[in-house]
Structure 1
Amino acid sequence: MTLNAQVLIIGGGAMGVSLMYHLVKAGWSDVVLTEKNDLTHGSTWHAAGLCTHFAHNPTIQELRATSVRLYRDILPEETGGTCGFHRSGAMRITSNPDRMDEFAHVAGLSRFTGYDLRLLTSPEEVAALHPLARTEGILGGIYEPDDGHVDPTLATNAMAQVARAGGATILRQNPVRAIRREGGHWMVETLREVIRARHIVNAAGTWGWEVGHMMGLNIPSVPVLHQYLVTDTIPAVAGRIAAGLPELPMIRDPEESWYVRQERDGLILGPYEKNAQPWSIDGVPPDFGAELMAPDLDRVEHIIVAAMARIPALETGGVKSVVNGPITFTPDANPLIGPVHGLPDAWLLTGSSMGVMEGGGAGWFLAHWMTHGAPPMDALAVDSRRFGAWADRDYRVQKAVECFGLQFGVHYPYEERPAARGKRLSPLHDRMLARGAVMGAAHGWERPNWFSDRTGDEAVPTFRRANWFPHVAREVQTVSEAAGLADLSVFSKFEVTGPDARAFVDALGANRAPKVGRVGLLHALTPAGGTASEFTVSALPGDRFYLTSAAAAEEMDEDLLRARASGFDVQIANVTESLGVIALMGPKSRAILSGLTDADLGAGFPWLGVREITVADIPLRALRVSYIGELGWELHAPRADCAALFDALEAAGRPHGLGLFGAYAMNSMRLEKGYRAWGADFTTERTPAESGAGPLIRAEGRDFVGREALARRMEAPDRWETVLLAIEADGVDPFYSHTVLHAGRPVGVVTSGAWGHRTGKALALAYLRERGLRDGLSVSILGRSCAATVLEAAPYDPANERLKA
């Protein structure tokens, strides 16, 4: 028997059932969910059910907030029942000054997103909210009054009840045996029938890797065992209940790595040990469903002891039960949500270590994406394509262990975590290390963040001014006074050829294809007019185009290019691995380069030009572009030739005072020019015009995805705008997600920021959701209100004289 479906969801946990619920709500028909065992089996059923609004990213915060609204308000109204949601509130406490900075940053972001997170600045405030907690050594914390906990099984079954009433089909005890693509549909063999589906969604959670394997994928997720213990009656808790006092707020101590919440007249204690225990890495046992592992409290005894010291009442209740079961971790602990790279009509909704906490919102998020062709918010933190083929078995295991151990780690700006590094190395990697590069990771690549003159130097994480500040200042000075080399090989790179190459690129986005020999920026849009991708497009002779984009966008941009090439006679090649890129920038760059080539580097090679030339006997593509506001070139050469090219450039530049610069210096200099960055300042949420790229839009006489929505939004009275701010930050350099205030009201958010070394200004790009605001602006940075001035022109070389020199 063959069952036809518009969409087949594989997995009946909170994530998959939430998607089923939201697709039905969105009007989808023939929605089918198949579950290996029963709903909630795997990890949902044994989850502690914690729900929070605390998050460092607006999208993650919205997933969590949407879940709370769904469980607390919407589902009880729709079903007439309850999801067992307790609005207990929650707090996080700390003895770590850096953690207080983190709390201040999250509380500041939440002013913009509209969620109530309150900074606690004294032990007394902590004690007033949680009378069972000892506060010795505590600096303060953060309080989330709308947080709570839910019964995972009640919540999942409530979503299933509404979805079934709307026509969805749920197949229980029906494991998937095989998956194949046939005739434009997915054919899924299950225990009971073959399901023919237009769309397929891997929401298998604990079994996500296995279902992905059937799809031909290597899902970067790993089940990791997590324990929590439930106490018997605790007299202090029972006494509060008898006195009619409200439920205790959940409390987390991230420094000691535990959480505690009230469970009837007892408590639940959940520890996260640093040395995580991966489980069934390459396949879950076939008979596993709603089982648990034997308790292993020896692994977490030290954390339990610390929790008892902080909450002495824990010692007065015996251990009633211990839950030891798998939860799933991705390499960054965020869920995998969105399209599958390279496969049509295939989606992921899996890998969440917070499946109940994020599940209600995650289903809404993906249902919107599947329905409208774009996510409802910026998806970069959760996009299923943020990991590539380089995220192999070792990577996913090592990163899962790291993420579990850092479940309560401080999330610093510019954080670089050490596990599973070195997956993708540029052809200049050894040379960069030999010259003092302190590396960062970008989509698996190792790239120089900054350069040190001390062997073994590393970045010291902080929310304040970092130890690399003077090193970056030196790099910027070298580039602005002489010249600098940078390894930009991490760029994503694509070649478009064929008879329809120009027509294809011309129809790709809001900006026309450049003329032959020229370089332009092109923004591909979502159907709603937001910015999906940003390409630097070089037009070469012979109907050839060379497109580069951000490292993290590689899989997303390849999918976009191939999807939009339908109907055009073109060939698209991903040449990311085969080409390296060396940037030569600075006022002496022409003098240096001219010693290695016979090519005309003057009038015959204007700004925003592209030429195929020979440098040091190496044929390459030279682009006269600069993201830092100085005269310069990007040299794109075959990987095998990059080392020799670098050596020649370095030797030729030595008499001119040539140096090296990294990503942090580049970020500082690009902000001094007001240049936007994809993934930070350009996102799917805002149009290119709102992001400040309005002058580049050339919509007339062309049809492209998002054209009508773009035109409509460009005229909308509630459209946003991007401004460049100079901030009086007093030594705390801005970075991202600071709330912008006007007369004390939240009116915008910082998307990126840094100290501008050439201009001596703290700079930030920010979205304002109220256009035209200029006077009375400030930025909330780590709990302080810092005056901000809108700069109407770039503070560095506003006339572009240095670029065009």
Structure 2
Amino acid sequence: MKTHVKALVVGGGAVGNGIAYHLAKAGWDTMLVERDELTAGSTWHAAGLLPLFNMSYATTHIHKYSVDLYKSLEAETGLNAGFAVVGNLRMAQHQARMDEYMLYSSVAETAGVYHEFLTPAQMKDRWPLLNTEDLVGALYHPQDGYINPADVTQAMAKGARQFGATIERRIQVNGYRWTGSEWIVTCARMVEQGGNLVASDETFEIHAEHVVTATGNHAQRTARLLGVKLPAIPVEHQYIVTEPDPALVAWRKAGNAEHPVLRDADAKWYVREERGGWILGPYERNAPARFLYDVPQSFRADLFPLDLERIEAEYMSMIHRLPSSETVGLKDDFNGPICYTPDGNPLVGPVPGLRNMWIAEGFSFGITAAGGTGHYLAQLMTEGEAEIDMASLDPRRYGQWITTEYSARKNEECYEHVFILHHPDEEREAARPLRTAPVYDRQKALGAQFGQVNGWERPIYYGPKDAPEDFDHNARSFRRGAWWQYAVDEAKAIRETAGLIDATAFTKHLVRGPGATQFLDWFTCNKLPAVGRINLTYALTPTGTTRTEYTIVRLAQDEYYLVSAGAWTDYDSDYLRKCAEDKAPEFGHIDIHDVTTQWGVFALAGPNARKILQEIVKDANPETVLSNKRFPWLTMRNIELGMVPVRAIRVAYTGELGWELHHPIEMQRHLWELLLKAGEKHGMKLVGARAQNWLRQEKSYRAFGNELGRDATPLEAALDRFVDLNKEFQGKAAMLATGIRSKCCTLLIDGPEDCDPWGKEALLLNGEKIGRLTSGGYSVAFGKQIGMGYVRPDLAEVGTKLKVKMLLQEWDAVVVEDSPFDPANARIRLDG
């Protein structure tokens, strides 16, 4: 057996074989090891559905690639993957579900996923066994269906071997050790013993430059071996198989086509045909997490006992939807572990803190994702980046603050929410509140309604303090929800008087040392600021795309304070540290400290912001300390507000006169009370994240994870003014070589009266898709919808008229100048 390889893949399910196939295809010497037999984990009991479409842009591309690949595997390998292209019918019992499907439609259009809408009558005509009397419509994907999980896995395994990969079974990995240049992986040969699989005395080592784990239900053991935390924990998933249904058998004998995969999301189940009968797969409440720490050695291709009482409601609703199934008996049942993550997206990418260690864990739709995951992960590994932005799947989106209990409870919630309406403004409640700023209780008492970002509770809007009992703060909608008017009022306050925003969740790093200046000059694309000043800048990937957005504050000659997006603390920290380690021999020692939890942040903005601070600032000349002369725009000053030492930064993400007030988090309550008292007589309003998001679009401020990501360069994001081409920086040559494939622009939209874009919609010209929105909302300044997005470069010119797809209609949109509100930035520079 080989003991030295370029890449070692650990795990022989569908995902592991998809990765081995693509790495070998890319020319890497690849080996896959599996502790049991190929497909022995969740793959063997998967129902094999291929839901082509997903609301995640990255996941949709992964699924689409998989579906296309699986159709081609037989021609390549000679093995039939068992792909039944029967289509996927997503039924809707009410208008809210159709609203969801209309948003799905626009996102699907951006990814090139074909789909149709059907009326109840059209469904009944095609599939008369369906009861459609209580349906309002459906979304139909005719190009997907289901596949045999074992067959497609074996086909990818054969394809991997054809490209030169080695696949070894009955090998368990027991340890990983990094030497600085390669991984030494300690393994044991597994043997049968009394029906169980146990490690033998035969141990050996495999040397690999890169390792990828795809260990499925064993993800917690993998995390422990690697010394990291991963929120991938399985949840029980049940499905049942019925005896043949005489009505279905007769339907097929008459020469009719197989039914599509049926999804009654409002009833929380999927159904497909299986040898004349039906498979029912529910996503019910109270499905428990399993294997929180380890999979027992005795658990192989095993199942849990069926709990029919738990799925009784879903079973009865299947009978309602397919009346002919009422008299059909049960033939078989399955209750097996399926891995989940708190947000439902898998963990695909580099392991934080480790070199050349990659994971592909936490797949709740592993069969659908296996081929695409292999393709895009192989691109990450062999080329440095994938052609799509994989940040939404990156393992580092979860911090080391997560625990087993947190992951288990969130994963149970995620399972239950598979078919619950996925509002873009949804905020799930499990495991909350967890990470709270000191003023959380005070904000809550003042009507704050919270979302969460990286576990932090963050006000998203402030509702009425004394709301009547029947007022639903959590009412969600694909149109303008209950929160909309509150966000409008908050946005107007910042434009007219002042608003106070809690930005404590911001990621904050302190970078210092003799090598800090040279390192950051190479690491970011803009000029470094002078001491006491700030700059907005970007760290690029080696392929020239945008990896992270930073506000850099220069505290001293070789000391910098870096502020970045709150959702991406570990994601930013890991990349920053690894790059600094690589460059330290060249530039000198660099200290990096994550100080996120040490500093709270309040953002005060609006025409009256200076007046409010003058009420509480402690200075020999309080009337002038905040003036343009002493405290210009884009500078930092250490000031005192009451008894609180504050690192005040004169920036405002809303485009108004304002300051970010970075303060010792233990003094936050005192500062909060000072600001509220001072702000009261100046019309200050408490403001949440949703109003802030609208306001930043009026200024065309790009947001990381929306306009900024690893699939576009800063030049494509139209951020030329923040790129200094007179210096050398990471990714510069690749950025210039990439050119301008698409261009970011801002659009004002004449949309529907009751709906705003969510930043997921297709942009059209003469019926042709020419781009997509990445952000959307409502503009209080212009009294209409606003959005930002990417279009063909020739269409990014001011005045270009386009269409935005919303609610299945095309609405007029026009490209406007960057910063359509106050383009000269006069309000930001307001003196007083």
TM-score by length of 2: 0.93
Amino acid at match of 1:5: V
Match of 2:182? 185
Match of 2:612? 592
Partner residue of 1:115 out of 98, 104, 113: 113
Task: Trace 1:757-772 onto structure 2 (pairs within 5 A).
Answer: 757-772=780-795
How far apart, CA to CA, are the structure 1 residues paired with 2:301 and 2:631?
A: 67
How far apart, CA to CA, are the structure 2 residues paired with 1:721 and 1:660?
A: 31
Match of 1:37? 36
Match of 1:79? 77
Match of 2:632? 606
Task: Trace 1:704-783 onto structure 2 (pairs within 5 A).
Answer: 704-714=729-739, 716=740, 718-772=741-795, 774-783=799-808
The alpha-carbon deviation at position 655 of structure 1 amounts to 2.4
The alpha-carbon deviation at position 724 of structure 1 amounts to 2.9
How far apart, CA to CA, are the structure 2 residues paired with 1:2 and 1:270?
A: 42
Alignment of 1:60 with 2:80, yes or no, is: no
Amino acid at match of 2:757: P
Amino acid at match of 2:131: R
1:162–1:331 distance in 2 versus 1, CA, 3 Å: same
Partner residue of 1:155 out of 152, 170, 174: 152
The alpha-carbon deviation at position 34 of structure 1 amounts to 1.4
Residue by residue, what CA displacement relative to the aligned partner does 1:713-761 show, whole Å, maximum 9, x if unpaired?
A: 23x5x44343333333323111111111111111111111111123312
Match of 1:567? 583
Q: Which segment is superposed worse, 634-643 or 239-248?
A: 239-248
How far apart, CA to CA, are the structure 1 residues paired with 2:388 and 2:33?
A: 28
Give the gaps of 5 or more residues in structure 1.
none
Match of 1:103? 101
Amino acid at match of 2:14: A
Match of 1:787? 812
How far apart, CA to CA, are the structure 2 residues paired with 1:88 and 1:316?
A: 25
SS where residue 310 of structure 2 aligns? helix
How far apart, CA to CA, are the structure 2 residues paired with 1:498 and 1:737?
A: 42
Q: Which segment is superposed worse, 534-543 or 185-194?
A: 185-194
SS where residue 27 of structure 1 aligns? coil
Q: Count matched residues.
A: 799
Contact 1:505 1:512 survives alignment (8 Å):
no
SS where residue 170 of structure 2 aligns? coil
Partner residue of 2:689 out of 657, 663, 670: 663
Contact 1:688 1:694 survives alignment (8 Å):
yes
1:352–1:470 distance in 2 versus 1, CA, 3 Å: same
Amino acid at match of 1:235: P
Match of 2:195? none
Amino acid at match of 1:743: N
Alignment of 1:144 with 2:141, yes or no, is: yes
The alpha-carbon deviation at position 679 of structure 1 amounts to 0.4
Contact 1:90 1:144 survives alignment (8 Å):
yes
Give the gaps of 5 or more residues in structure 2.
190-203
The alpha-carbon deviation at position 310 of structure 1 amounts to 0.6
How far apart, CA to CA, are the structure 2 residues paired with 1:479 and 1:148?
A: 50
Task: Trace 1:311-350 onto structure 2 (pairs within 5 A).
Answer: 311-350=322-361
How far apart, CA to CA, are the structure 2 residues paired with 1:583 and 1:532?
A: 25
Contact 1:88 1:145 survives alignment (8 Å):
yes
SS where residue 62 of structure 2 aligns? helix
Contact 2:526 2:538 survives alignment (8 Å):
yes
Q: Which segment is superposed worse, 548-557 or 474-483?
A: 474-483
How far apart, CA to CA, are the structure 2 residues paired with 1:423 and 1:190?
A: 39
Task: Trace 1:162-311 onto structure 2 (pairs within 5 A).
Answer: 162-192=159-189, 193-311=204-322
How far apart, CA to CA, are the structure 2 residues paired with 1:114 and 1:199?
A: 33
The alpha-carbon deviation at position 181 of structure 1 amounts to 3.1
Residue by residue, what CA displacement relative to the aligned partner does 1:484-518 show, whole Å, maximum 9, x if unpaired?
A: 22111100000110112221111112222122221
The alpha-carbon deviation at position 614 of structure 1 amounts to 2.4
Contact 1:428 1:487 survives alignment (8 Å):
no
Alignment of 1:688 with 2:688, yes or no, is: no
How far apart, CA to CA, are the structure 2 residues paired with 1:27 and 1:762?
A: 49
The alpha-carbon deviation at position 2 of structure 1 amounts to 8.7
Task: Trace 1:408-427 onto structure 2 (pairs within 5 A).
Answer: 408-427=419-438
Match of 1:533? 548
The alpha-carbon deviation at position 288 of structure 1 amounts to 1.4
Contact 2:346 2:361 survives alignment (8 Å):
yes
SS where residue 450 of structure 1 aligns? strand
Contact 2:109 2:769 survives alignment (8 Å):
yes
Match of 1:678? 704
How far apart, CA to CA, are the structure 2 residues paired with 1:320 and 1:158?
A: 29
Match of 2:12? 12
1:307–1:725 distance in 2 versus 1, CA, 3 Å: same
Match of 2:194? none
How far apart, CA to CA, are the structure 2 residues paired with 1:128 and 1:2?
A: 59
Residue by residue, what CA displacement relative to the aligned partner does 1:352-385 show, whole Å, maximum 9, x if unpaired?
A: 1111011111111211111122232122321111
Partner residue of 1:639 out of 648, 659, 665: 665
Amino acid at match of 1:16: G
Amino acid at match of 1:88: V
Q: Which segment is superposed worse, 676-685 or 519-528?
A: 519-528
How far apart, CA to CA, are the structure 2 residues paired with 1:365 and 1:115?
A: 18
SS where residue 507 of structure 1 aligns? helix
Amino acid at match of 2:817: E
The alpha-carbon deviation at position 779 of structure 1 amounts to 0.5
Q: Which segment is superposed worse, 740-749 or 639-648?
A: 639-648
Amino acid at match of 1:435: L
